[in-house]
Amino acid sequence: MLHIKSLDEGLEIFKALGSEVRINIVKLLLENREMNMNELASSLGITNGALTSHIKKLEETGIIKVITEHGGHGNQKLCRVDVDKILVEVEGKEAEDENNIYNTEVRVGHYSDYEIYPTCGLATDTALVGEVDDPRYFAHPDRIKARILWFTKGYIEYIIPNLLPSATKIEQITLSLEISSEAPGVNSDWPSDISFYLNDEKIGTWTSPGDYGDVRGIFTPDWWFPNWNQYGLLKMIVINKKGTFVDGLKISDINIRKFNLDYKSTIRFKFQIEEDAKNVGGITIFGNGFGNYNQDIKVRIAYSQM
């Protein structure tokens, strides 16, 4: 997999794929697994000389691999596709000198409180933590290494590090994380009402459509069980002076000013599956090393002077 972390970083790859001839080369190699230069030139209707420059661009960017094979009739160059996925992060990194913005990240296993019910479990990037469907393991010392966790109902709560400059107040909190429902096995049609709480105040509910396992997550490790949840949806939760939003859609009128948060405040954020919810479909939280986005719970806080 090619992981492009910024548009500038991916410029040469975009150029390499910005040609109909080179796209057709990739298609032919995907159909035939590997082909030599003569076969490719003949299939494309171009000369070997013209083909060479296209192959060079694709090889330099890591999209294809060229292997020299030694045979009885001399050497021949075999070409094959050398990448299965290309992931492009469009947003890129935040500017380090951005004013009045504080960025932090919370590991999936660094929760401060929980009350959960099976099905449930958690895992590091190399192994399960204890046994599945036993809530006791959420207190296991290795839980701080967890990169994924799931449960059917109950809650998990995180303390967001507050290292804002002195004499500042919080104007907006943004959380970004990969989540899904938690079905027995996997089920893409398994709605779950996931409620969000800030310092014990319910700020809104979002309904997750399902629990996804049709294909392996881009970053999900090879040892992970193929019939278990593989990836989720990247959601952005924002609470500001106008209310609470998920991916830009307002889910409640609860706004940031209700909490009077400043540089000294404790910030606790809870994800809860309520027992009396219409859709009690659980929650899975994917962290760095699982799913499709290779991130933990990212937090961005906008602040102003008091």
Number of domains within the chain: 2
Q: Based on the domain organization, do 190 and 276 belong to the same domain?
A: yes
- Among 86, 115, 130, which residue terminates a domain? 86
Distance of alpha carbon 162 from alpha carbon 263, whole angstroms: 7
Q: Which amino acid is at 146?
A: A
**Which residues is 232 bridged to in the sheet?**
none
pLDDT at 98: 57
CATH of the domain at 254: 2.60.120.260
Helix, strand, coil share (%) of the chain residues, nearest 5: 15, 40, 40
Q: Based on the domain organization, do 76 and 104 belong to the same domain?
A: no
What digits encode the pLDDT tens for the residues 171-230? 999 999 999 999 988 999 999 999 999 999 999 999 999 999 999 999 999 999 999 999
Task: Specify whether the CB–CB gap between 60 and 20 falls below 8 A.
Answer: no
Q: Based on the domain organization, do 64 and 145 belong to the same domain?
A: no
- For residue 7, name the pLDDT band (cuts at 50, 70, 90): confident
Q: Provide the residue range defining the domain that includes 55.
A: 2-86
Task: Specify whether the CB–CB gap between 299 and 174 falls below 8 A.
Answer: yes
Q: Based on the domain organization, do 18 and 130 belong to the same domain?
A: no
- Among 65, 86, 107, which residue terminates a domain? 86
Tokens of 187: 């089920």
Q: Based on the domain organization, do 156 and 300 belong to the same domain?
A: yes
Q: Based on the domain organization, do 80 and 165 belong to the same domain?
A: no
Q: Based on the domain organization, do 12 and 148 belong to the same domain?
A: no
pLDDT greater than 90 at residue 4: no
- For residue 74, name the pLDDT band (cuts at 50, 70, 90): low
Q: Based on the domain organization, do 134 and 232 belong to the same domain?
A: yes
Q: Based on the domain organization, do 193 and 75 belong to the same domain?
A: no
Q: Based on the domain organization, do 41 and 75 belong to the same domain?
A: yes
Q: Based on the domain organization, do 77 and 98 belong to the same domain?
A: no
Task: Specify whether the CB–CB gap between 195 and 241 falls below 8 A.
Answer: no
**Which residues is 213 bridged to in the sheet?**
none
Give the count of alpha carbons within 13 A of 103, CB side only.
Answer: 10
Q: Based on the domain organization, do 175 and 297 belong to the same domain?
A: yes
Q: Of 18-27, 65-74, 102-111, 240-249, which range is least confident?
A: 65-74
Distance of alpha carbon 67 from alpha carbon 34, whole angstroms: 10
pLDDT at 71: 66
Tokens of 155: 């809650």
Tokens of 193: 């009402």
CATH of the domain at 37: 1.10.10.10
- Among 27, 53, 86, which residue terminates a domain? 86
Residue at token pair 């939760």: 237
